[in-house]
Structure 1
């Protein structure tokens, strides 16, 4: 049965050092005394994924972004409503958005620069704006409790979010920090001032013909090992601290980050204890945090099940 994606539960934040016995290497996993079957199953799979990694020359010479082209420049001070609007891409413009294309811009990598053509502010805004929110006229701010059928008549109170767009009041050409295959780069971006947010929303301005997509994954032919789950995306990178999101079952327990770190690549996944009873077929997203032996830099983060390069989502 196909799993249905659901955002269930609270984030799980664990450092690899906290999961390993004293004296073990957090980036390589627990010592032999503390290793369980999940680690034993993860290690050879991760090694196979790492050894299959063969990036094209553009990985070191071109512009290969490893995160969403929409970037927050600072803390937006989200409310529940504005975060929903940001994630959904609901915008309305209250200012003229220039349609003329600017001159070429410069991407500044840690190891050099690259001159690239840029898109106009109007083109960037069309990419940013994903449509209007659904109509919510007459909807109460707080919905009435829902009575669930059953002998106990249990009550749940769903949380409503307002269907509001974000209001763009100004736009200018600037730069945004973007994680790339060559490390964190300063990339030309259109900065949109949004009335409801405390920080601008940036949309990368690099023209599509100058963007190299991430390489296609090379996954092992056999299914993933039991008790090992894959990663969905990167959530945050702070030097050597890496937060990524696992896709686990709704009833899985014992969620543990699993990492194999190499000089050129980092392979991640997770270990879980599967439920033995009846459970719903849902995919739950669980963030986990690990501390690597060295800052991530330009190394790719690969999913242990698919071999996919994990990119970082907006926000």
Structure 2
């Protein structure tokens, strides 16, 4: 059950996932004092209001191009194997095609609320941004059997040779577009689409020239430390209408992980509640995915971390 609260003159909705397992999507809540509400997270409520009130982006947030995810995206299902996914995440590529060096004409970014004309980079420049270098040797991964002479009837057997991890092979490129989450909602952004032999979908690299990309605004958050038992969000994993999945940064021994979210007209503030371990525990930050259902679709509203106030970007993988 959701509740509507008026606090410090700012309408908001607080959703707490109660004792549901992390990532379950189960939503529970409470009302005013005396109706069974869980008051453990009132400190989250107060801090989230302050974070939302401090959200004052510049004009470029609603007029420019502010991407909320990485400039390399997949266009469709890539059909990853463990090896090709590793290569994609690491940025290991080799080109088997001539890459045009000429810059194309200006392109248009198509937002839900309008268009923006921007200069573009060449395919060769996009590939230089895409390619993050050669893969290192991968311990224990065979490439070809290496003959070794051993005693026996036929005098030889084969043993594996350690080889480099496999890069992705670019076999074609064309100018197209890719869907990118931005400060103005999901936009169709000009992108170079690289055909990769090992994948079943193209790899897109946004073609917008760097001077037309507006960086994320500096975060604004209360100067005091975060409330005890409240943890921050690290990034968004998926957005599906009103369903939001994000990763919490929790301790290795934290339990009772509870997603917490507070909705406003201009922003959504997220974090989580945990029960801290009382004994000795390894000092390790663990990513814990959690899912909440908002009162309304996220749309173009930014998702802000309750501890730092920073805008969360989306990591699709």
TM-score bracket, normalised by the shorter chain, equals 0.7 to 0.9
Give, in whole Å, the separation in 2 of the partners of 1:19 and 1:238.
16
Match of 1:157 in 2: none
CA contact (8 A) 1:80 1:161 kept: no
Shift of 1:161: 11
Match of 1:112 in 2: 114
Give, in whole Å, the separation in 2 of the partners of 1:126 and 1:116.
20
Q: Deviations over 1:141-172 (max 9, x none)?
A: 9xxxxxxxxxxxxxxxxxx9971111111111
Q: Deviations over 1:6-27 (max 9, x none)?
A: xxxxx94221xx2415xx59xx
Unaligned stretches of 5+ in structure 2?
A: 1-20, 144-161
SS in 2 for 1:102: coil
1:133 to 113, 129, 135: 135
- Structure 1 residues 134 and 102 mapped into 2: Cα distance closer, same or farther (>3 Å)? same
> Which structure is higher in strand share?
2
Matched, 1:20 2:28: yes
Give, in whole Å, the separation in 2 of the partners of 1:291 and 1:162.
44
Taking the TM superposition and a 5 Å limit, the aligned residue runs for 1:33-112 are 33-37=36-40, 39-112=41-114
Match of 1:153 in 2: none
Give, in whole Å, the separation in 1 of the partners of 2:268 and 2:35.
21
SS in 1 for 2:115: strand
Taking the TM superposition and a 5 Å limit, the aligned residue runs for 1:148-297 are 163-297=165-299
Give, in whole Å, the separation in 2 of the partners of 1:208 and 1:296.
27
CA contact (8 A) 2:22 2:259 kept: no
Give, in whole Å, the separation in 2 of the partners of 1:99 and 1:133.
25
Q: Deviations over 1:225-258 (max 9, x none)?
A: 1110001111111111111111000011111110
Computing the radius of gyration from Cα coordinates, the structure with the larger value is 2
SS in 1 for 2:286: strand
SS in 2 for 1:264: coil
CA contact (8 A) 1:73 1:200 kept: yes
Give, in whole Å, the separation in 2 of the partners of 1:176 and 1:31.
50
Give, in whole Å, the separation in 2 of the partners of 1:204 and 1:51.
33
How many residue pairs are counted as aligned between the two chains?
279
CA contact (8 A) 1:124 1:204 kept: yes
CA contact (8 A) 1:81 1:161 kept: no
1:309 to 301, 308, 311: 311
Give, in whole Å, the separation in 2 of the partners of 1:290 and 1:162.
41
SS in 2 for 1:34: coil
- Structure 1 residues 277 and 209 mapped into 2: Cα distance closer, same or farther (>3 Å)? same
TM-score with structure 1 length normalisation?
A: 0.84
Unaligned stretches of 5+ in structure 1?
A: 1-10, 142-159
More contact order relative to length (CA 8 Å, sep ≥ 6) = 1
